[in-house]
């Protein structure tokens, strides 16, 4: 893991003091509500429906056990004993006291953490594949480059006051677990013919009100030029992105208005000036950062021969291994996803006790490292196969062993109207109603991989456009209704979902999901996934089934 | 009266800002709209400044850059960063070496960004405490990335990493 040097620590400490000064002026009444808003957002602090919400940065979703213990402490001491894993791999607290936020940030700084640029119209936390560094299908470990971008983008003199928020993601594996097609900038890291790291750069993807997949504007960008190229993109966006309408202010609107080709020409015209300039990365700086992510001291292990026997004895364990355990680069090790998706608990919510437990498991069964996935689950990246059974038993005790990864009930869900002041509708009760309706694990397994994503408003924090089934909360004359879409995907075969028709009342949603699944089960060919079936038969059979009685 | 901050202190402002210029009689030490200056380029004396909005195009005022000692960039709102990019371009690509001034919605907590983008004087609107601005400007002492003031990022200035 990356560890702060003196410079990083000094910067974060000064930033805490800066925010303390700003908060004090707000409390004194010398800094206006409207002006403080811009400053607090850049330090992760929203004022929400019920209380402030503090979003803490977990850079590229990677945490050390001592950092997770600090988050548990914050949940316990400053909050109501729980936190929320966000769809951007961050941790959110829903009940901090505004006056205490500088103290929380000071506590975080003691474990090399912060909340810098986790909200506001600036470059946000850079996200990555949650399996980066350990995935069996990895080509390039994106984390060092995420860290280099994190540093470059932190309090950038020119790009902290953009037209709108700006999200960058890096993927370096055969699978795309970072959903790079739906980011403002999506970077595909790969190796060229000489083995050098290069990036394919996509720009202008995003969800929200106008979902778009990113356009490829540069292929095989050498890694040393990464920052100057990003700077060129950001400058074009900062100067020409719309600022008159927040719904048209994302870079995707600019790219579409200019056309990707013309946008690329603008970027290249900028890049002529900065390419090879001082912002160009040096080989030494890249090597230093890569060295911070050198693999931990793995043991030389054979694949665990006893695993098959344990699975035979304990079918539930076997199911969990099948769904929640992914192949690791190293023989005898596995990547474990601890699902937070338990019926009755809002997706992504974790208690202080669970956080402490996960931190302990990371130390005991791994090398003290934890990841947060954008699907709002915890990941333990380095578990010895021989320890899987014991870990599973412990995880069950903490309700973190749902064997539903990638299944219908592994729902991605924003906080929605229960917490968020932007929401048009609640999303958590919808998730719970669906989890309650489809609680038969055999049926879930029979259905296979289905992603169901719920957003409480157009801002699409629940990524509803890229769910195989997407649910969007809408406001109809003061009432909460839900629009359902089908066929989205965030992976390597990304696509945007299509709306099936008029929206539904909250109570009707589980029945509609049931009908969608019935159409799938009746139509699927041998072993065909939901998404593939949908792509083959199209939306009409689903529409006909659902709206049959409405005619 | 707005306060002018320059060189880390409050100074008196010996320039007059004209939103519009109707007649052609411009007295010395007046900041006129860039559009006016472009139209009357030959007649401009050495002590006329120009102002332009944050979305102004530096190419368009390029002929004036050698003539004017002061360019003011108008910030439309605290959170409108276009003027920052404009300042960077004027300093780095167009080589402007005169005074670069921030006017409009200049906020005390944004000065350190402006400063690093090459702006060297700040017209702080009424109701904003200049002492707070001077304190806020110094809240962060060093930065990761390069800037107009210091083009080298941290990793080119000293050895990063744990000792």
Q: Per-residue pLDDT for chain A (551 aa), expressed as one digit of tens each?
A: 999 999 999 999 999 999 999 999 999 999 999 999 999 999 999 987 667 899 999 999 999 999 999 999 999 999 999 999 998 899 999 889 999 999 999 999 999 999 999 999 999 999 999 999 999 999 999 999 999 999 999 999 999 999 999 999 999 999 998 999 999 999 999 999 999 999 999 999 998 888 899 999 999 999 999 999 999 999 999 999 999 999 999 999 999 999 999 999 999 999 999 999 999 999 999 999 999 999 999 999 998 889 999 999 999 999 999 999 999 999 999 999 999 999 989 999 999 999 999 999 999 999 999 999 989 999 999 999 999 999 999 999 999 999 999 999 999 999 999 888 889 999 999 999 999 999 998 999 999 999 999 999 998 989 999 999 999 999 998 899 999 999 999 878 889 999 999 999 999 999 999 999 999 999 999 999 999 999 999 999 999 999 987 65
Question: Pick from A265, A291, A317: which residue ends a domain?
Answer: A291
Q: Does residue A453 lie within any of the structural domains?
A: yes
Among A267, A291, A315, where does a domain finish? A291
Instruction: Quickly state the pLDDT bin for B46 (edges 50, 70, 90).
Output: confident
How many Å apart are CA B149 and CA B138, to the nearest integer?
15
Beta strands A45-47 and A369-372 are unpaired
- Domains annotated for chain B, with CATH where assigned, are 3-156 (3.40.50)
Please tell me whether residues A325 and A226 are part of one structural domain.
no
Residue B163's pLDDT band (boundaries 50, 70, 90)?
A: low
Note the pLDDT of residue A337. Answer: 97
Cβ–Cβ < 8 Å for A12, A114: yes
The CA–CA distances, whole Å, from A147 to A85, A291, B41 equal 20, 12, 49
Shared domain for A268 and A344, answered yes or no, is no
A22 and A76 inside one domain:
yes
Residues A286 and A383 in one domain: no
Cβ-contact A5, B161 below 8 angstroms: yes
Taking each helix axis from N to C end, the angle separating A388-397 and A352-365, rounded to the nearest 10 degrees, works out to: 170
**B109 burial level (CB within 10 Å; 0-12, 13-18, 19+):** buried
Categorize the per-residue pLDDT at B44 as very low, low, confident or very high, splitting at 50, 70 and 90: confident
pLDDT beyond 90 at B1? no
Q: What is the pTM of this model?
A: 0.93
Does residue A238 belong to any structural domain of this protein? yes
- Give the side-chain half-sphere CA count within 13 A for A196: 11
Within the 92-111 window of chain B, which residues sit less than 8 Å (CB to CB) from chain A? 92-93, 107, 109-110
Residue B24: what pLDDT?
A: 65
CATH value at residue A83: 3.90.480.20
A507 located within any domain? yes
Closest in A25, A161, A285 to B81, CB measured = A161
Give the CATH number for residue A211: 3.30.413.10
Other Cβ atoms less than 10 A from the Cβ of B5: the count is: 25
**Taking every pair of C-alpha atoms in chain B, what is the biggest distance, in angstroms?**
66
pLDDT of residue A117: 97
Q: What is the pLDDT of residue A419?
A: 86
- CB atoms closer than 10 angstroms to residue A271: 22
The answer as to whether A221 is a domain residue is yes
Number of domains in chain A: 4
Pair of tokens at residue B40:
């009357």
Write out the two tokens for A150.
Answer: 């994190």
CA distance A351 to A82: 4
A143 by Cβ neighbours in 10 Å (0-12 / 13-18 / 19+) ranks as buried
Give a yes or no: residue A123 inside a domain: no
pLDDT for the residue numbered A11: 98
**Percent of chain B scored above 70 by pLDDT?**
96
Same domain assignment for residues A251 and A368:
no
Cβ contact, residue pair B144, A154, below 8 Å = yes
Q: Are residues A141 and A72 in the same domain?
A: no
Q: Do B78 and A38 touch (CB under 8 A)?
A: yes
Are A434 and A536 within one domain? yes
Q: Which of A291, A322, A346 is the last residue of a domain?
A: A291
Q: Is residue A329 part of a domain?
A: yes
Given its phi and psi angles, is residue A363 left (phi above 0), alpha (psi -120 to 50 degrees) or beta?
alpha
Whose tokens are 């778009």? That residue is A212
Structural domain contains residue A59: yes
Q: b vs e for A508-530, b when ≥16 Cβ sit within 10 Å of the residue's Cβ?
A: ebbebbeebbebbeeebeeebeb
Per residue in B136-152, pLDDT (tens digit) is: 999 999 999 999 999 99
For B55, which residue in chain A has the nearest alpha carbon? Answer: A239
DSSP secondary structure of A312-381: HH-HHHHHHHHHHEEEBSSTTEEEEEE----TTS-TTEEEHHHHHHHHHHHHHHSSSEEEE-TTS-EEEE
If phi > 0 it is left, if psi is from -120 to 50 it is alpha, else beta; for residue A107 that is: alpha
Residues of A with a Cβ under 8 Å from any B Cβ are: 3, 5, 7, 10-11, 14-15, 17-18, 21-22, 25, 30, 35, 38-39, 121, 151-152, 154-162, 227, 235, 238-239, 243, 273, 277-279, 281-282, 284-285, 288
Judged by CB atoms closer than 8 Å, whether chains meet at B132 and A39 is answered as no
Q: Which DSSP symbol is given to B125?
A: P
Domain boundaries, position A71: 6-109
């Amino acid at each position: 893991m990356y560890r702060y040097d003196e410079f990083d620590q000094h910067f974060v400490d000064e930033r805490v003091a800066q925010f303390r000064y700003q908060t004090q002026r707000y409390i004194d009444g010398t800094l206006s509500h409207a002006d403080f808003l811009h400053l607090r957002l850049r330090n992760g602090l929203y004022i929400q429906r019920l209380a402030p919400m503090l979003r803490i940065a977990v850079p590229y979703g990677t945490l050390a056990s001592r950092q997770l213990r600090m988050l548990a402490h914050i949940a316990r001491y400053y909050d109501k004993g729980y936190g929320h894993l966000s769809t951007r791999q961050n941790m959110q607290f829903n009940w901090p006291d505004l006056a205490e936020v500088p103290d929380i940030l000071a506590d975080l700084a003691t474990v090399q953490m912060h909340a810098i640029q986790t909200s506001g119209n600036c470059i946000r936390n850079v996200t990555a594949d949650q399996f980066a560094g350990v995935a069996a299908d990895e080509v390039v470990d994106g984390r060092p480059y995420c860290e280099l971008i994190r540093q470059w983008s932190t309090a950038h003199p020119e790009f902290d006051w953009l037209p709108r928020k700006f999200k960058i993601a890096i993927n370096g594996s055969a699978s795309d677990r970072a959903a790079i097609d739906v980011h403002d900038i999506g970077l595909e890291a790969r190796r060229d013919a000489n083995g050098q790291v290069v990036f394919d750069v996509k720009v202008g993807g995003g969800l929200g009100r106008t979902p778009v997949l990113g356009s490829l504007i540069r292929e095989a960008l050498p890694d040393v030029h990464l920052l100057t190229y990003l700077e060129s993109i950001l400058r074009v966006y900062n100067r020409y992105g719309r600022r008159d309408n927040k719904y048209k202010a994302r870079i995707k609107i600019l790219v579409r208005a200019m056309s990707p080709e013309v946008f690329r020409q603008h970027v290249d015209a900028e890049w002529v000036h900065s390419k090879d300039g001082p912002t160009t990365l040096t080989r030494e700086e890249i090597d230093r950062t890569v060295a911070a992510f050198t693999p931990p001291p793995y043991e030389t292990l054979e694949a665990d021969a006893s695993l098959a026997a344990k699975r035979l004895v304990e079918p539930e364990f076997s199911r969990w291994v099948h769904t929640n355990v992914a192949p690791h680069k190293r023989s005898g090790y596995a990547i474990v996803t601890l699902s937070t998706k338990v019926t009755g608990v809002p997706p992504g919510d974790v208690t202080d006790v669970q956080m402490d437990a996960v931190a302990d498991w990371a130390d005991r069964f791994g090398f003290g490292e934890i990841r947060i996935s954008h699907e709002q689950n915890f990941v333990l990246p380095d578990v010895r196969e021989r320890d899987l059974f014991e870990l599973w038993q412990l995880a069950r005790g903490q309700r973190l062993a749902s064997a539903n990864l990638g299944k219908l009930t592994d729902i991605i869900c924003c906080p929605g109207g229960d917490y968020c002041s932007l929401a048009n509708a609640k999303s958590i009760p919808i998730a719970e109603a669906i989890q309650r309706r489809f609680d038969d694990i055999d049926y879930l397994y029979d259905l296979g991989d289905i992603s169901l994503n719920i957003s409480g408003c157009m801002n699409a924090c629940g990524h509803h456009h890229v769910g195989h089934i997407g649910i969007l909360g809408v406001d109809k004359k003061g009432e909460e209704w839900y629009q359902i879409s089908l066929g989205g995907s965030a992976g390597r075969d990304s696509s945007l979902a299509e709306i099936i028709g008029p929206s539904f009342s909250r109570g009707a949603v589980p029945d509609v999901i049931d009908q969608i699944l019935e159409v799938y089960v009746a139509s699927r060919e041998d072993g065909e996934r939901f998404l593939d079936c949908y792509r083959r038969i199209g939306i009409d059979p689903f529409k006909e089934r659902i709206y049959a009685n409405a005619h | 009266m707005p306060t002018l901050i320059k060189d880390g202190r409050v100074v008196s402002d010996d320039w007059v800002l004209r939103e519009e210029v109707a007649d052609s009689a411009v007295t010395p030490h007046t900041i006129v709209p860039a559009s006016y200056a472009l139209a009357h380029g030959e007649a401009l004396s050495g002590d006329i400044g120009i102002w332009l909005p944050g979305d102004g195009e530096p190419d368009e005022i390029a002929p004036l850059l050698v003539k004017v000692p002061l360019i003011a960039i108008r910030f439309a709102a605290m959170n409108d960063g276009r003027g920052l990019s404009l300042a960077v371009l004027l300093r780095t690509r167009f080589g402007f070496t005169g005074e670069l001034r921030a006017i409009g919605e200049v906020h005390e907590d944004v000065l350190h960004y402006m400063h690093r983008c090459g702006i060297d004087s700040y017209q702080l609107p009424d109701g904003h405490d200049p002492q707070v601005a001077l304190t806020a400007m110094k809240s962060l002492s060093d930065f990761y990335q390069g800037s107009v003031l210091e083009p080298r990022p941290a990793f080119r200035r000293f050895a990063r990493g744990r000792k």
